[in-house]
A and B are shown apart, each in its own frame.
Chain A
Amino acid sequence: MGGALLVLDWIPDSHLIGAISRSLIIMFSVVAISIGIGLPLGTMAGLYDFWGKRVLLGMLSLPLLIPSFLWAIGLSQFQILFHISEFTPLAGALGSIFVFSALLIPLSIYASMLSVKSLSSHQIDALVMVGSARWCFFQVLKRAAPITILISLLAGIITLSDPGPGLILGYSGIAAEILVSFSALFDFDLARRQCFFIAALSLLFSLPIVFFLGNYLTTALLAQESSASKLYENSLVRRFAPAVFIALLFLMIGIPFIGLIKPLLQDFEWVYALKTLQRTGGNTLFYSITAGVLSTFLSLSLVLCLVHYKRGKVMLISFSLLFLVLPSSFVALNVIEWAANLPASWDWLFRGRFLVAAVLAFRFFPIATLLIVKRYATISPGWFDAAKLSGVSRIRFYYQVIIPFLAPALALSVLIITLLATAEIGTILLLRPPGEDSFPLAIFTVMANASEVKVASLCFVYFMISALSLTILWSALGRKTSCK
């Protein structure tokens, strides 16, 4: 009898089924939109040159570095401030789709662009010599389509575990339900059960992709940019591409940004924003930098241990992708339960700031792994053979050759994960010790109670810091490219 009741507990009720359906509607809509827009634009950016391409593509990555709830606040404010909510209902499902699309479209664009870049200029020349420019474009687009679709699908699964936009725009999915169960209802068991469903759902979609297409994904993700690839000229693209990208940026970033900063025209709460930054800045840096360093170190160790095995590379990539789509709350809630059963003498490690950083590091280690494996894949097996033949010690060889060779990927990994960890709120919200908020979490917790001006001031400061970080990231990437 007791066992039956336990099983009944795990059967989702209609409320939960409703939340799951809403999450799925959002996921599939966003995936379709991001493929529809990202695939052609990414192919175009990979194939042709046009004015301001580097800057425009760089700006596209801004939504990835800012928590999605900020875009949702911006969108919501935009409608209120300009009184357009009755004409364009960008709240509810449409609003959530709008916000998540802004996150997924850049990923689809980058995925298809990289896929195009792995073609050599001779391969593209061969197409150019056979058919018209349009035909050639569609052939290249077909080549980029599979990996773009797969990446968009996997990224779409991640939207299942993001509660922010749904909560703010009034279309709560399963992730929002977990947050409410944990933070408002204080029902840990319910949160855990909901978390189990979301994790099962994520794995249900991602497992077949990774299991059946693991080899294909590994080859496609590790495809190196062809050094011979060149950018083609097309008058139509040269004329219209910048306008298309600027329009996309305005839609994705401009509208929410205007919504975010419009209240600042009345007043700017500098002191409040800077005090909040001062209070939370140390934690934010600690969480994000520690996560960046830890996850890069963890990934490097995994790569060095596994990559030499026959199927090591495929296993690493597949496992990384699966881990990446698991909801952050799934890991966090399990860690909470685990830490609760430990004796108090472990509190310094398992109930402190370090735990938050460590869980963030686990959350993002797949990204570090992808970056490091991609760089590692360019190493010729001959390097190891040459070292073996001359009897160079393994430690010396790794210290002098392999680690310095991987250094650009390691630095990039620390930088990217630091930025992504800064924007992550789910893990920090669930795991932070009392009073140890990060800056984005401080915005998240005050947004419902503080005045519009205060929220806008905080958002503006965060936005500016992210834009500055993005500039540093892109200049680092540019230096890496020019060094090749």
Chain B
Amino acid sequence: MQVIQLAKRFCDQTVLDEVSFSIEAGQHTVILGSSGCGKSTLLRIIAGLMRPDAGEIVLNGEVASSPGTVRLKPHLRSIGLVFQDLALWPNLTVLKNITLVLSAKKLSAIEAKEKALEVLELCGVAFLADRKPAEISGGQQQRVALARAIVLKPDYLLLDEPFSGLDLITKHTLMEELVTLANRQNSTIILVTHDPFEATFFAKQALILDKGRIVESGKFEALLAQSQNSIMAKFRSQLQKTQEIGR
């Protein structure tokens, strides 16, 4: 995936400004930044849910978005997205939340159900298939949202701060399972977060976004050790404090 000179403005506010980077297949990437720095907008443009004002998104060698245009429709980009508010359809059961996604693939009802149960099993929530989202816990809802995002075996799995609001144990378990699942499906994770713990868990590569611009990028460990950027400095000090408490 290549993001080239991407820009986006809302009214008179620049949200993204000449953002460029590339992500190799299998190179899980974390986009770090404080609230309101344009992280979610970047994910939405990558997913094809929003048009860029300038710049391009190139997916597998094909221009997917160009200025003012979404050339490749969202469902043709092989992208799964776990939304910050999960966006599960509340009036459908867990199973139907998955089979509705599969309806686009023209499978028979039985095939769709089998495939849905398979992915729910993979995410450890098959036993909740007949429940509605409001009837299950927050952690279980995260798993259902994840199942919905990966059921079509996407090349890229975009995660928009999906673990916020979860307790530490659930978050840890989910993150472990997520990496295993993504690796098994050959999906590349792109995680948007402002939490250093989540970042350390996933990252091979990190991008630091500040006021709509990429201020640093590279190997996450190297950035964590050397970066002079204020966001990374805060991450570093927070991680050090936690390690000291751990000792």
Q: State the CA gap A386–B89 with chains docked (Å).
A: 9
Q: At the interface, yes or no: A208 with Cβ under 8 Å from chain B?
A: no
B91 and A382 contact, CB distance less than 8 A: no
Interface residue ranges of B149-179 to A (CB < 8 Å): 152
Q: State the CA gap A404–B91 with chains docked (Å).
A: 7
B92 and A390 contact, CB distance less than 8 A: no
**Tally of A-B Cβ pairs under 8 angstroms:** 69
Known contacts: A396-B103, A400-B100, A401-B92. The answer to whether A388 contacts B74 by CB under 8 A is yes
Q: State the CA gap A78–B101 with chains docked (Å).
A: 65
Known contacts: A401-B89, A404-B91. The answer to whether A388 contacts B75 by CB under 8 A is yes
Collect the chain A residues with CB atoms within 8 Å of residue B75's CB. 388-391
Collect the chain A residues with CB atoms within 8 Å of residue B74's CB. 385, 388-389, 391
B83 and A386 contact, CB distance less than 8 A: yes
B89 and A388 contact, CB distance less than 8 A: no
Q: At the interface, yes or no: A250 with Cβ under 8 Å from chain B?
A: no
Q: State the CA gap A391–B80 with chains docked (Å).
A: 11
Which size bracket describes the interface of B in this complex? 20 to 34
Q: At the interface, yes or no: B117 with Cβ under 8 Å from chain A?
A: no
Known contacts: A388-B49, A388-B74. The answer to whether A382 contacts B83 by CB under 8 A is yes
Q: At the interface, yes or no: A393 with Cβ under 8 Å from chain B?
A: yes
Nearest B residue to A401, CB-CB: B89
Known contacts: A380-B87, A401-B91. The answer to whether A386 contacts B148 by CB under 8 A is yes
Nearest B residue to A400, CB-CB: B100
Collect the chain B residues with CB atoms within 8 Å of residue A383's CB. 87, 89
Q: At the interface, yes or no: A405 with Cβ under 8 Å from chain B?
A: yes
Q: At the interface, yes or no: B6 with Cβ under 8 Å from chain A?
A: no
B104 and A390 contact, CB distance less than 8 A: yes
Residue from B44, B90, B104 within 8 A of A392 (CB atoms): B104
Collect the chain A residues with CB atoms within 8 Å of residue B84's CB. 382
Q: State the CA gap A288–B87 with chains docked (Å).
A: 38
Quote the shortest CB–CB distance from A402 to chain B (angstroms).
9
Collect the chain B residues with CB atoms within 8 Å of residue A396's CB. 100, 103
Interface residue ranges of B44-92 to A (CB < 8 Å): 44, 47-49, 73-76, 79-81, 83-87, 89-92
Provide the A69-108 mask, 1 if CB < 8 A to any CB of B, else 0: 0000000000000000000000000000000000000000
Collect the chain B residues with CB atoms within 8 Å of residue A380's CB. 83, 85, 87
Q: State the CA gap A128–B45 with chains docked (Å).
A: 45
Provide the A5-32 mask, 1 if CB < 8 A to any CB of B, else 0: 0000000000000000000000000000
Q: State the CA gap A388–B49 with chains docked (Å).
A: 8
B87 and A392 contact, CB distance less than 8 A: no
Give me 9 other A-B pairs in contact (C-beta within 8 A), A386-B87, A396-B100 excluded.
A385-B44, A387-B100, A389-B47, A389-B80, A391-B74, A392-B104, A393-B103, A396-B103, A397-B100
Q: Which B residues are closer than 8 A to A by beta carbons?
A: 44, 47-49, 73-76, 79-81, 83-87, 89-92, 96, 100-101, 103-104, 148, 152
Q: List 18 A-B contacts (CB under 8 A).
A: A382-B86, A385-B49, A385-B81, A388-B49, A389-B74, A389-B80, A389-B81, A390-B100, A390-B104, A391-B73, A391-B75, A392-B101, A392-B103, A396-B103, A401-B91, A401-B92, A401-B100, A405-B90
Q: Which 9 A-B pairs have the closest CB atoms?
A: A382-B87, A391-B75, A391-B104, A390-B101, A382-B83, A389-B74, A388-B74, A401-B89, A404-B91
